[in-house]
Each structure stands twice: as C-alpha cells, then as structure tokens.
C-alpha cells in the first residue's frame, strides 16, 4: 500500500492565497507542486492518493480539509493512513499540527464498489499571529490592562436571536445572559443599527437588602459582604481596570472569505462590561432613612435588588453593514505576561467564534405569525389588587394631593398570567407586537425579563448625561392623517402637558445633582415620538458630569425617574410603600449596561414581563438540561399617574390597557409556538 498527497492546483484561485506572511509557505508549496510519499504504509501495490482541497485561516489556527481518494475502493477507511497524511501536510506546509478539527472523518462512498472511496478530514495547524497585531497588542498593554480582540463576520446567515440560541441552549434558562435589540421611533420605524448578545459572564454581583454576593466564575470563587450601598462594589472592581483601544483599522476591514482577526476600535466597545438590572428598590440604598427596607411592601418573590454580570464575551451586530463583531475582552491581570494574555485571548475568541459560526446551528421553533395582534383580547386573569382595592388607593392618593402633600403619584398593580409559552418565545412575539427602542431578553438570577421599553432611565456618553422624560400618551391613528389629528389633541391636552412639564422639572433636578454648574439644558421640549401602538410626548434633558463623579453616581441620582414615582419624588415613594401591596421588583427600575470605559445606557423597566424562575441566586450557575416545556407565571405590571382630577375607574382601565399590550405578546406566542 502506498500513499501520495499533493496540494490541489485549484487553490490558486481561492481568496486564502492572497493572505500575506502566514500563508506564503502554502503558496510556495503549491507552486512547486510539493508531493510527499509515505513508505510507512507500504504493504502492497495499491496507491492511495490524497489532495489538499481547501485551506481556511483564522488568527490562531490554520485549518485544512484533506480529501483522500482511495483506489481501489476498500470496504472501510484504513485509519492507519492518518499518520502519513499528517506527516505529508507537515512537511509540505511547515506548520506544526495540533489536532483534528472534527472527531472522525466524513466518508462519502459511491454505490459502486469499483468507484473511489472519498474521505474528507479536517486538521488544525498552529498559525503564528501576524506580527503587526502582536505589536499593537503589546504596545496597548503598556497603557491599559483590558484590551479587546474581535473577529468580524458576515451576518447575512446569522441573526441576533439565532446567535443568542447558539450561546445559550433552550434549556439553560437559569444561565445569566442577555439579548439587546432596538427599533427606532419615527414616522417610519426602523431597526436600530446595533444589537448585542452576551452569555456566560466571568463575574456576577447579586445584591439583596445590603447583602452582596460576588461570584467569580473564572476562579470558581464565591464571597459575601455587607454593603450600605452595593453599587460601590462593581465600581470598586472596575476601577482597577483601564481599557485600551486601538485607533487603527486595516483597509480590508472585513474580507470576502475569512475576516482577519484584529484589535477592536469601534464604538461598540462601550457595550462590554456590567450588564443586568437595578430594581425599583435600589433607591432604598440611597434614601436609607426615609425609604428603609423595613417599611417596604411585602416581598413575595424574593428577587434580587440588583443583578449584574461582567461580560467579557459579546457579539455586536451592525445591521447597516450586515456584520457581526465577535468580541473578547482580555484582562491582563489574569496572566503573567502580555504574550500569554494574547495567546489565550485569541484561543478564547476562536472558541466563541466556533460556537456562533459552526456548521451545525440550533433549531429555532417555527411559528406562524397572526398579524392582527390588536384583535387579541387581554387575558388578565389575576392582579395583586382587586379593582376596588386599586380604586381606593387612587382615592387615598388624591387626598394627599388635595392636602398639598404631593403633586402627582404613580400607582401600579401587578397582573399575573399563566402560560406554556417559553419566555424566549414570548420575547420573539413581543418583537412583533410591540417593537420599541429597548427590546430586551435578560436571564437574571431568579427571573427572566422580557421587555420592550420606550424610554431611557439615564445615559452617560463621554461624560454627557442624558435623561428623556416620556409622559403623555395617545393611541396611534389608522392613517397618517389620523396621527396628525391625534398628535394635536395630545399637545392641547392641558392635563397631560402639565404632567409632562412637571416631570421635565424632576429630570432637570436629577441631572443637576451630578452635573457641572450651568451645564444643564433642556435640549428638546415636548416632541412627539411615535411607536407601534401609541404616541408619547418626549423631552430631553442633558448635563455635563462633574469631574469627581462617575456613571454610578448618575444612576443613584436618577433612580427611580419621576415618570414611575411622582413629585416630589421621595414623598411620592413613601406613599407608594403605603398604597401598593407588594414590592415592585424589576418593574420601574432599570436594565442595561455600564461599560469598562465608564459610559452607561440604562433603560426604564416599563412594558416589562417578569418570569420568576424560582432559582437560587447565590450559587454558581451551571448549564444543564431541564424540562423543555413547562408552565410559566408571567408578571405584567403597569401603573397610572394620579393627579387631583383623576377618575379611579379611568386609572384602573389605564393599567389594564398597558398590561394588555404585553398580554398580546403572550397570546401570539401561545398561538404561534404552543397551540400546534
């Protein structure tokens, strides 16, 4: 038996041959017709020929698909040929082999025993990273200790929903992870430019009534500490890190076949860092005397006050350029040298890429969409308050308003819905029923949040603070002409406009607490924003962050915004503790991220469905299978702004209508995915 291997001449036309440096040996070997014979398997006169037919390149690995044509056709593949095959590839290309890319060869055999047996084997070879990238990384390591690496992929075969399912299996509902998407408001609603996916945080922080649990998943360590203000802990952890970005990008940013691995220098760098939610009760850490936990309503779900994950692996989708950036942040403090950090960082990045760019992709449940979602009737089966209880709470709130105690208060109630639709299926339905600027699927400790929030809680970008009060609502018209008519009616509604101006003043006060004197401005006042089902009055308040403060201070000043509490804010929250029967939890708090570089983008947790998972939130997570179809309890909370002339029946109806928009998503998920 004799084995011959050669490099296929057809490779001359493949894009891989245009790669410089690291592939020059391939081209040289090909042009010279390198052929190597192995005598290790000579046992007879038959000749076995192998042809290297394809080469793919990443930054860390060189992958080769080797097709072996066996003549005459044996009954099975002689695995003793593996050794001479690898020897030939090694001698021809001078790359050290490190292993097989697949567990076993793929065998394709024709029906005739007289025809060849073709076997394709993929092997992986170590490829030294380009020196330019190494030099940039080492140079960046002198000025910072957190450096991002990424690969740019075409996203025409990959969606954010599919990428999330590649990273988090259908049965991993307790694993911390997130999917952020966006639909921008306007006369012609459009998909936001970026979507972000993250899973498997390297660290988690969970706060519950001053007890903070820190879970380091890299070192496998869990610790607890008591903190008067838990927000100081994530700030303390990240203060020791200095992110360092590289400004240059290669001319061929995303090649046609296999994008080169380079250092990241795009604006999406601010999407890596702490991601999670801050509940409404987070404000109790700030107003300790007036709003203590001991005076809070009943905590019937035992959800964390704060849950944050430190995500060093994320995928950012650019829907305009149809690209996906697979990003890994390298923390130099985990390594003995920058070279070790670079090598390990590239290996981790390649692992992440393989999970979302593999041949086998996860199957998503197909669903037939019933487009007339507005015809679905709201199935609001239960509330934590009866109609009479809520109306009585409204009357008591009006007494405080008439007495001059407060000007306005937002009273909410929590509806309950049981469903066999999976939370991720509900999220997929919500994207259709109620698209919004902050579409979120967030698996946190003890709960899953499915949200379509229209409003930011607060934002910090390059030390510019932005708050956007959103108050004053009217339904969308059936035609553009109807929209214009309803818009005029909304802007002429004295009650709604007065409420909005009051909330703009609250926003100015919140921003002013942490801004430089004279920097607070109302950039936009009483603009109309159109969404799928309603229109809102919107204003924008900005300020410049004081030099000695950070985004964490801005968050403390903003929580909770006046649109979900009232005015004056603290007194309104004291009355909410008296009038509402259970803690709000994530509802009317915020969700989003605070980046390594200090920027922050937190959405207001409105139009948010909370699915309690009944999982312990103080243990290390693990990915494991559980029953795929189960009954879920969905909590849909909604509130109404109470003023002096509020009618209790109208406010009850407003709560029901707001919750009904979320219930429609559950209806659609059930009809599309469950009722088969």
> Is residue 460 helix, strand or coil?
strand
Confidence (pLDDT) at 107: 39
- Comparing 42 with 660, which gets the higher pLDDT? 660
Structure-token pair, residue 18: 């245009």
**Rounded (5°) CA angle 552-615-179:** 55
> Is residue 536 helix, strand or coil?
strand
Confidence (pLDDT) at 520: 94
The helix or strand, by DSSP H or E, that contains position 458, with its residue range, turns out to be strand 456-461
Confidence (pLDDT) at 410: 95
Is the predicted pLDDT of residue 139 greater than 80, yes or no?
Answer: yes
90 is a catalytic site residue: no
Is the predicted pLDDT of residue 577 greater than 90, yes or no?
Answer: yes
| Residue of 276, 507, 592, 641 with catalytic role | 641
Q: How large is the average pLDDT for residues 65-72?
A: 52
Mean per-residue pLDDT of the chain:
76
Confidence (pLDDT) at 609: 96
Count CB atoms within 10 A of the CB of residue 598: 19
- Comparing 70 with 204, which gets the higher pLDDT? 204
242 is a catalytic site residue: no
For residue 65, what pLDDT band results from cuts at 50, 70 and 90?
A: low
Q: Which is nearest to 413 in space by CA: 380, 442, 437?
A: 380
Angular region, 33: left φ>0, alpha ψ -120 to 50, beta rest: left
Q: How large is the average pLDDT for residues 559-584?
A: 93
**CA separation for the pair 582, 385 (Å, rounded):** 9
Confidence (pLDDT) at 31: 47
Is the predicted pLDDT of residue 394 greater than 80, yes or no?
Answer: yes
Place of tokens 């934002």: 459
Reported as a single tens digit per residue, the pLDDT across 216-270 is 998 889 999 999 999 999 999 888 888 776 543 222 223 223 333 333 333 444 4
Reported as a single tens digit per residue, the pLDDT across 396-421 is 999 999 999 999 999 999 999 999 99
Strand partners, 2: 47
| Residue of 328, 431, 508, 536 with catalytic role | 536
- Residues whose CB falls within 8 Å of the CB of residue 18, separated by 6 or more in sequence, listed in order: none
Instruction: Identify the top-confidence range among 49-58, 180-189, 361-370, 462-471.
Output: 462-471
| Residue of 607, 608, 635, 664 with catalytic role | 607
Lowest mean pLDDT among 83-87, 559-563, 565-569: 83-87
Count CB atoms within 10 A of the CB of residue 302: 13
Q: In the 3-class helix/strand/coil scheme, how is 1-49 assigned residue by residue?
A: CEEEEEECHHHHHCHHHHCCHHHHHHHHHHHCCCEEEECCCCCCCCEEE
Q: How large is the average pLDDT for residues 312-324?
A: 86
For residue 155, what pLDDT band results from cuts at 50, 70 and 90?
A: confident
Place of tokens 């409003």: 455
For residue 554, what pLDDT band results from cuts at 50, 70 and 90?
A: very high
Q: Which is nearest to 648 in space by CA: 390, 474, 380, 383?
A: 390
80 is a catalytic site residue: no
Confidence (pLDDT) at 433: 85
Decide: residue 360, CB within 10 A, 0-12 exposed, 13-18 middle, 19+ buried: exposed
Is the predicted pLDDT of residue 55 greater than 60, yes or no?
Answer: no
Q: How large is the average pLDDT for residues 287-315?
A: 92
Lowest mean pLDDT among 155-159, 246-250, 284-288: 246-250
Structure-token pair, residue 362: 């996860």
Is the predicted pLDDT of residue 193 greater than 70, yes or no?
Answer: yes
Is the predicted pLDDT of residue 623 greater than 70, yes or no?
Answer: no
Kindly tell me the sign of the dihedral angle through the C-alpha atoms of 83, 87, 90, 93.
negative
For residue 620, what pLDDT band results from cuts at 50, 70 and 90?
A: low
**Strand 590-595 to 566-567 pairing:** unpaired
- Comparing 486 with 53, which gets the higher pLDDT? 486
Confidence (pLDDT) at 20: 42
| Residue of 563, 582, 608, 613 with catalytic role | 563
**CA separation for the pair 211, 303 (Å, rounded):** 13
| Residue of 194, 531, 587, 617 with catalytic role | 587
Count CB atoms within 10 A of the CB of residue 404: 7
**CA separation for the pair 509, 465 (Å, rounded):** 12
**CA separation for the pair 226, 238 (Å, rounded):** 19
536 is a catalytic site residue: yes
Is the predicted pLDDT of residue 275 greater than 80, yes or no?
Answer: yes
- Comparing 628 with 269, which gets the higher pLDDT? 628
> Is residue 398 helix, strand or coil?
helix
Structure-token pair, residue 229: 């203000």
Place of tokens 């029946």: 649
Task: Return the beta strands (E) in 306-455 as ranges.
Answer: 306-311, 313-318, 323-331, 382-383, 408-419, 438-444, 447-453
Place of tokens 């795009």: 266
**CA separation for the pair 18, 20 (Å, rounded):** 6
Reported as a single tens digit per residue, the pLDDT across 637-670 is 999 989 888 999 999 988 988 888 889 999 999 9
417 is a catalytic site residue: no
Confidence (pLDDT) at 95: 43
pTM of the model: 0.77
Q: How large is the average pLDDT for residues 346-355?
A: 85
Q: Which is nearest to 205 in space by CA: 188, 228, 224, 183?
A: 224
Confidence (pLDDT) at 284: 94
**CA separation for the pair 434, 424 (Å, rounded):** 15
Is the predicted pLDDT of residue 112 greater than 60, yes or no?
Answer: no
- Comparing 390 with 378, which gets the higher pLDDT? 390
For residue 551, what pLDDT band results from cuts at 50, 70 and 90?
A: very high
Structure-token pair, residue 258: 């296999």
Reported as a single tens digit per residue, the pLDDT across 453-480 is 988 899 998 899 999 988 888 888 888 8
């Amino acid at each position: 038996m004799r084995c011959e291997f050669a490099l296929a001449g057809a490779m001359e036309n493949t894009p891989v041959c245009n790669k410089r440096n690291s592939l020059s040996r391939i081209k040289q070997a090909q042009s010279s017709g390198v052929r190597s014979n192995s005598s290790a398997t000579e046992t007879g006169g038959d000749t076995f020929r192998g042809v290297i037919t394809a080469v793919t390149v990443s930054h860390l690995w060189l992958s080769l698909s080797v097709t072996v044509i066996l003549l005459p056709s044996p009954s099975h593949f002689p695995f003793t040929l593996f050794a001479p095959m690898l020897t030939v590839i090694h001698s021809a290309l001078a790359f050290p082999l490190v292993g097989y890319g697949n567990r076993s060869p793929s065998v394709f055999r024709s029906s005739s025993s007289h025809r060849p047996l073709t076997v394709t084997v993929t092997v992986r070879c170590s490829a030294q990273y380009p020196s330019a990238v190494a030099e940039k990384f080492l140079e960046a390591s002198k000025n910072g200790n957190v450096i991002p690496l990424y690969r740019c992929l075409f996203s025409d075969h990959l969606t954010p929903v599919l990428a999330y399912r590649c990273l988090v299996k259908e049965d991993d509902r307790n694993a911390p992870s997130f999917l952020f998407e966006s639909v921008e408001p306007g006369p012609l609603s459009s998909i936001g430019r970026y979507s972000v996916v993250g899973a498997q945080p390297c660290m988690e922080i969970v706060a519950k009534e001053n007890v903070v649990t820190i879970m380091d998943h890299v070192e496998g360590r869990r610790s607890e500490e008591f903190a008067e203000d838990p927000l100081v802990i994530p700030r303390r952890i990240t203060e020791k890190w200095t992110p360092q970005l590289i400004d240059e990008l290669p001319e061929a940013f995303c090649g046609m076949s296999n994008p080169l691995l380079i250092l990241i220098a795009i604006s999406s760098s601010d999407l890596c860092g702490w991601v999670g939610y801050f509940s409404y009760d987070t404000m109790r850490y700030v107003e300790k005397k007036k709003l203590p936990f001991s005076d809070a309503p009943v905590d019937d779900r035992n959800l964390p006050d704060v849950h944050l994950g430190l995500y060093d692996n994320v995928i950012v989708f650019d829907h305009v350029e149809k690209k996906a950036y697979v990003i890994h942040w390298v923390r130099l403090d985990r390594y003995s040298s920058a070279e070790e950090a670079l090598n390990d960082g590239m290996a981790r990045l390649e692992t992440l890429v393989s999970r979302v760019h593999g041949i086998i992709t996860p199957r998503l449940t197909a669903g037939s969409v019933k487009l007339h979602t507005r015809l679905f009737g709201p199935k609001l089966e239960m509330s934590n308050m009866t109609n009479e209880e809520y109306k009585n709470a409204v009357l008591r709130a009006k007494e405080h308003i008439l007495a001059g105690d407060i000007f306005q208060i937002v009273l909410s109630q929590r509806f309950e819905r049981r469903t066999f639709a999976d939370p991720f299926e509900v999220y997929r339905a919500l994207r259709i029923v109620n698209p919004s600027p902050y579409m979120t699927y967030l698996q946190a400790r003890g709960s899953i949040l499915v949200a379509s929030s229209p409003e930011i809680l607060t934002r910090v970008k390059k030390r510019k603070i932005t708050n956007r009060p959103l108050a004053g609502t009217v339904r969308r018209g059936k035609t553009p002409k109807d929209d214009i008519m309803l818009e005029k009616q909304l802007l002429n509604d004295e009650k709604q406009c007065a409420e909005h101006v009051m909330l703009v003043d609250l926003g100015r006060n919140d921003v002013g607490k942490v801004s430089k004197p004279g920097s607070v401005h109302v950039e936009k006042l009483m603009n109309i924003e159109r969404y799928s089902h309603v229109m809102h009055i919107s204003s924008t308040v900005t300020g410049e962050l004081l030099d000695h403060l950070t985004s964490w201070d801005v968050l403390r000043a903003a929580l909770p915004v006046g649109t979900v509490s009232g005015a004056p804010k603290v007194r309104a929250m004291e009355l909410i503790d008296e009038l509402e029967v259970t803690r709000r939890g994530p509802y009317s708090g915020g969700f989003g991220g605070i980046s390594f570089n200090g920027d922050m983008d937190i959405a207001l947790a409105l139009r948010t469905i909370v699915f309690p998972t009944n999982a312990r939130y103080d243990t290390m997570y693990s990915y494991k299978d559980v029953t795929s179809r189960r009954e879920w309890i969905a909590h849909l909370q909604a509130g109404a702004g109470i003023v002096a002339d509020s009618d209790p029946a109208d406010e009850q109806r407003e709560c029901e209508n707001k919750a009904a928009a979320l219930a429609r998503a559950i209806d659609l998920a059930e009809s599309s995915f469950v009722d088969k």
